[in-house]
Amino acid sequence: MFLEDRAGVAGGIILILVVLVAAFAPLIADRSMLDVTQTLDQPRYAPPSAEHPLGTDNYGRELWARLVWGARVSLIVGLAATAMSMIIGTIMGMAAGHFSGLFGGFIMRVIDFFLVLPSLLLAIVLSSVLERGVLTIVIAIGITSWAGTARIVRAQTLSAESRLYIERAKVLGAGHWHIIRTHLLPAVMPLVLANTTLTVGSAIIAESTLAFLGLGDTTQQSWGTILKNAMDVSAATSGYWWYILTPGLAIVAVVLAFTLVGRAIEAIANPTLRSR
- Confidence grade of residue 180 (pLDDT, cut at 50, 70, 90): confident
- Give pLDDT, residue 16: 92
Give mean pLDDT, residues 166-191.
80
d(CA 4, CA 235): 42
The region that residue 270 occupies, defined by phi over 0 for left and psi between -120 and 50 for alpha, beta otherwise, is: beta
Query: Cα torsion at 203, 205, 208, 210 (round to 10°)?
Result: -70
Give mean pLDDT, residues 80-101.
87
Q: What is the pLDDT of residues 55-79, one digit of tens each?
A: 888 888 889 999 999 888 888 888 8
**Other C-beta atoms lying within 10 Å of the C-beta of residue 179:** 18
List, in order of start, the domains of the chain with CATH numbers.
Answer: 2-273 (1.10.3720.10)
Residue 145 CA to chain centroid, in angstroms?
A: 10
* pLDDT greater than 70 at residue 274: no
Q: What is the pLDDT of residues 203-250, one digit of tens each?
A: 888 888 887 777 777 777 888 888 888 888 888 888 888 888 888 898
